[in-house]
Amino acid sequence: MILACLLVAAWLLCGAGLRTWFAIFDRIYVPPSVIAGFVGLACVQSLLFLESSIAYSIAATGEVLRRWPGTLIAVVFAGMLLPGSKVAWKQSAGAAGREALMVWIIVLGQTAIGLTATWLLIKPFYDLPASFGMLLETGFAGGHGTAAAMGQVFASPQVHLAHGLDLGLLMATIGLVYGTLSGIFWINLAARWGWIDQKQSVAPERHDTARDGREKDRSDFARGLDPLLVQAIWLSLAFAVGMGLQSIVSMAAQWSDSLGVIETMPDDLIRNKVTYAAILGSFPLFIYTMLGGWIVRHVLKRFGASHLIDGVGISRLTSIAMDLLVVAAIATLNLTAVVALVIPFSILVLCGMVWTGVCLMILSKRILPETHWFQLGLVNYGMSTGTTATGFILLRIVDPELKTGAAKDYALAAPFSAPFIGGGMLTIGLPLLVLEKVPIAISSGVLLGIVSVLIVVGIRIGRRGDD
């Protein structure tokens, strides 16, 4: 852990120096944390080929860093509702609904396009199962975790795709790298087209929190403590409450499963995926920590101590978490996946690249809230090309202080998609129950029809919502 912190600090120092020495990084809005991440990636990958104690230490440190993004995202969301929200809940619910619909369009569209490409361009020349088309959603929207889980599905007798695990991991790796690099390209294009405020696309201004704290009327409880430490306490409490909520929900779900409601399902893999514990367990920790921040704020308000929460201090802490998240996520990219079936695999990759670009630059503008459609679209873009962490890498560039509400809308909408798609029940169930039993032409046609209907509905809702 100590070595990991020292390495990240060194990489951040290198990133800041490179951004200062090479003006091109400043002109294309690449923050120091992104540069530091790629410095770390180069460092980790180069040492993999060395037989030394230093190389083994770096490799072990990489395993530690791989666990950082999930935790740091939860820290960021713990501070989301902690200072309070100026957006009405009715407005937030409407924006979250549009965001949930957009996520379904993106991810279900990946499945539909992957299957269609397999049907028309791949199966006529390669003896591959229809589920080969699921690799696009598995790697791009699901990421490495889903790819590892789906490896068992692809290798099952129903599917019989022996290289599914390797291909899924490779797809996830390509998605991560492509999502970050292409996302920066889209950001620069959007800046030149006037879609984002370039003045906000810089690192957040560092405020003197100690001075700000002295200007506030602070109670005896906070007196004697550094103001930033006080904010760290509230943030930690919000994180702890979120973890507690997740544990309570998990235990309640396991108790419900013990009642034997779904014991009659024939397939063990499907039965394990549709348990209450599996469904509710797919909700990421950041959902609970965001709710934890809301609870902590209202408890303090109940005791007349809400003035102890300093929005500036919370913003500083979550900004630090975002910087560390970016470095850890990029530095630990998996670039060792085995390449197999290059041509059909490349077809899926190209289809995924085109579809994610269409969703970001065309559909998001017509479906998501007009005030921050691009920022929210960037989070979706990162999510749909690898991980939520990738999305926040991109969001950090255009909305460093998370003021647009994009992160909040994404979090509120996550429960309506995470249990089902991008590694959820539908992702697992389609290859086992449908794709190898129904002609691929029918499966592709039905999914394309559903996605088309969702797009039409989303555009109509988007127009009414922005009027």
Do 462 and 381 fall into the same domain? yes
Do 100 and 149 fall into the same domain? yes
Question: What sign does the dihedral 18-22-23-28 (CA atoms) show?
Answer: negative
Q: Is 211 exposed, middle or buried (0-12, 13-18, 19+ CB in 10 A)?
A: exposed
Please name which of 115, 143, 102, 160 lies closest in space to residue 375, comparing C-alpha atoms. Answer: 102
pLDDT at 92: 59
Do 169 and 262 fall into the same domain? no
Do 260 and 363 fall into the same domain? no
Task: Tell me the backbone φ, ψ of residue 410, rounded to 5 degrees.
Answer: -60, -45
Structural domain total, the chain: 3
Do the Cβ atoms of 396 and 326 come closer than 8 Å? yes
Packing angle of the helix pair 68-78, 311-331 (nearest 10 deg): 160
Say how far apart CA 178 and CA 380 lie, in whole Å: 14
Say how far apart CA 15 and CA 36 lie, in whole Å: 4
Do 130 and 272 fall into the same domain? no
Do 187 and 213 fall into the same domain? no
pLDDT at 160: 84
Chosen domain end from 260, 283, 314: 314
Do 222 and 186 fall into the same domain? no
* Residue 77 belongs to some domain of the structure: no
* Residue 324 belongs to some domain of the structure: no
- pLDDT digit string (tens) for the chain, length 467 residues: 788 899 999 999 999 999 899 888 876 667 788 888 889 888 887 776 666 676 677 777 777 887 887 788 788 888 878 886 554 445 556 778 899 999 999 999 999 999 999 999 999 998 889 999 999 999 898 876 677 778 878 888 878 888 787 788 778 878 877 888 899 899 988 888 887 765 555 444 444 444 444 444 445 555 667 888 989 999 999 999 999 998 888 787 777 656 654 454 445 544 454 455 555 555 667 778 888 999 999 999 998 888 889 888 998 898 888 888 878 877 876 655 455 578 899 999 999 999 999 999 999 999 998 888 999 999 999 889 877 777 888 888 888 777 888 888 888 888 888 778 887 778 878 887 888 888 999 999 999 999 999 999 999 988 776 66
Per DSSP, the three-state class of 254 is: helix
Say how far apart CA 56 and CA 60 lie, in whole Å: 6
* Residue 78 belongs to some domain of the structure: no
pLDDT at 206: 45
- The two structure tokens encoding residue 266: 């024939």
* Residue 16 belongs to some domain of the structure: yes
pLDDT at 299: 93
Distance of CA 362 to the CA centre of its chain: 21
CA–CA distance from 277 to each of 132, 145, 251, 280, 423 (Å)?
A: 28, 18, 8, 5, 15
pLDDT at 105: 96
* Residue 214 belongs to some domain of the structure: yes
- The two structure tokens encoding residue 121: 């361009």
Cα atoms found within 13 Å of the Cα of residue 294, Cβ hemisphere only:
13
* Residue 273 belongs to some domain of the structure: yes
Do 310 and 362 fall into the same domain? no
Say how far apart CA 98 and CA 100 lie, in whole Å: 5
Cβ-Cβ contacts under 8 Å for 91 (sequence gap 6 or more): none
Do 236 and 299 fall into the same domain? yes
* Residue 72 belongs to some domain of the structure: no
Task: Tell me the backbone φ, ψ of residue 84, rounded to 5 degrees.
Answer: 105, 155
**pTM exceeding the 0.85 threshold for the entire prediction:** no
Say how far apart CA 222 and CA 63 lie, in whole Å: 38
Say how far apart CA 330 and CA 32 lie, in whole Å: 12
Chosen domain end from 314, 343, 365: 314
Cβ-Cβ contacts under 8 Å for 300 (sequence gap 6 or more): 234, 306, 308, 309
Do 47 and 95 fall into the same domain? no
Do 163 and 263 fall into the same domain? no
Q: Is 424 exposed, middle or buried (0-12, 13-18, 19+ CB in 10 A)?
A: buried
Please name which of 412, 391, 361 lies closest in space to residue 141, comparing C-alpha atoms. Answer: 391
Do 135 and 258 fall into the same domain? no
Do the Cβ atoms of 165 and 154 come closer than 8 Å? yes
Please name which of 252, 232, 254, 277 lies closest in space to residue 425, comparing C-alpha atoms. Answer: 277
Cα atoms found within 13 Å of the Cα of residue 267, Cβ hemisphere only:
13
* Residue 20 belongs to some domain of the structure: yes
Cβ-Cβ contacts under 8 Å for 448 (sequence gap 6 or more): 112, 116
| Long-range pairs of 203-211 with CB within 8 A, sequence gap ≥ 24 | 203/31, 203/32, 203/400, 204/315, 204/316, 204/319, 204/400, 204/401, 206/316, 207/312, 207/316, 209/310, 209/312, 209/313, 209/316
Do the Cβ atoms of 96 and 359 come closer than 8 Å? no
Tell me which residue range forms the domain holding 29: 2-65
